[in-house]
Amino acid sequence: MALWVVVTLVFFLARLGGDPAALLAPVDATPAQIDQVRRDLGLDQPVFIQYADYLRGLVTGDLGMSTSFRTDVLEIVGPAMVNTAELALVGFVIALVGGLVLGTLAGTRVNSRFDKGVRLVAVAGQSVPAFFLGMLLVLLFTVNLGLLPAFGSGDLKSIILPAVALAAFPLSAITRLTRSAVLEVAGRDQTMFERSKGVSPVVLLAHIVRNASLPVVTLSGVQLGAMFSSTIVVESLFAWPGVGQLAIQAINSRDFALIQGIVIVNTLVYVGLLFLVDLSYGWLDPRVRQSNSRNSSSKVTA
């Protein structure tokens, strides 16, 4: 349902910007030449017939033809999505590991200097725009220190700066939520009871982290999906050949089919990640599995 809504909105919104044939034709094109471009693109048909044809193509995996690259949209978006996935996954690992470690340590050391420092850094990470942080990273590690390249792709060094710039916001969000979840679980009666029985700190910490993981998993899945769809600024700043960079090219060349394909692929990735998050609940919390089992049993009985 969500994918259909996105497809429909993108299809009709793309046509609100004017006649694509007039935009794609040469500046000095005659009306006859513009009409020919319109027929070549299938834009001479009523809009709802175009919409039905587009949906029919999507069912078979056809995202249309790129007018700027003169090839299938999927052949262009596929390699770019691989590069974006590489950048997003590296950034996500940085954000997830850093957020879990910092949030857990801060939650177990409430109001200490470390806790206050982590909260300050987390607020700063959610306040500083990605492009500004990226420029600071380039100025420090590329211009002043000469340690890391500012542009390009293909090796480990080239992905560090864009991954860190992309990971700053989700790292801060995961850190803050992890800290809050750890504090909430640590204050429960069950946790206090286990502490009073003399349970070892390692076992107690594992219990706290496991019970605090559900909201963190939810947020992590949402953040990973957002990282896939928000790489446009970071990719443009660091000249990373991903979907964000490709989207800018598509917008500048008024390539509506390519823009629609990029949005659809990003939506599929986002919905798929949320589905995986839902599946992970049963593994993390036995109560979810038991609830699902009871619901299934009640439906069978009914």
Q: What is the pLDDT along the chain (302 residues), one digit of tens a residue?
A: 677 888 888 878 777 766 667 767 777 778 888 888 778 777 777 778 888 888 888 888 788 788 778 788 888 888 898 899 999 999 999 999 999 999 988 888 888 999 899 999 999 888 888 889 989 999 999 888 888 888 877 778 889 999 999 999 999 999 999 998 888 887 777 777 676 777 777 777 777 777 777 788 888 888 888 888 778 888 888 888 888 888 888 877 777 788 888 888 888 888 888 788 777 766 666 555 555 555 544 544 44
SS (H, E, C) 6-40: HHHHHHHHHHHHCCHHHHHCCCCCCHHHHHHHHHH
Beta bridge partners of 65: 72
Enter the pTM of the model: 0.78
Query: Whole-angstrom Cα distance, residue 246 to residue 237?
Result: 13
Q: Smallest Cα–Cα separation from 247: which of 96, 86, 77? A: 77
Answer yes or no: are the C-beta atoms of 83 and 242 closer than 8 Å.
yes
DSSP assignment of 158-217 equals HHHHHHHHHHHHHHHHHHHHHHHHHHHHHTSHHHHHHHHTT--HHHHHHHHHHHTHHHHH
Task: Sketch out the chain's domains with CATH numbers.
Answer: 2-65 (no CATH), 78-252 (1.10.3720.10)
How distant, in Å, are the alpha carbons of 208, 213, 251 from that of 247? 43, 35, 6
| 129: Cβ contacts below 8 Å, ≥ 6 apart | 233
Lookup: tokens for 93: 């690992």
State the DSSP code for 42. T
In the three-class reduction of DSSP (H, G, I as helix; E, B as strand; rest coil), residue 71 is classed as strand
Say how far apart CA 168 and CA 98 lie, in whole Å. Answer: 10
- Range 209-215 contact pairs with CB under 8 angstroms and sequence separation of 24 or more: 209/100, 209/104, 209/182, 210/284, 211/185, 212/107, 212/178, 212/181, 212/182, 212/184, 212/185, 213/181, 213/284, 214/281, 214/284, 214/285, 215/177, 215/181
Sequence-ordered list of residues with C-beta below 8 angstroms from that of 104, at least 6 positions apart, any chain: 178, 179, 182, 205, 209
C-alpha to C-alpha distance for 302 and 18, rounded to whole angstroms: 55
Q: Other C-beta atoms within 10 Å of 300: how many?
A: 7
Burial (0-12, 13-18, 19+ Cβ within 10 Å), 207: middle
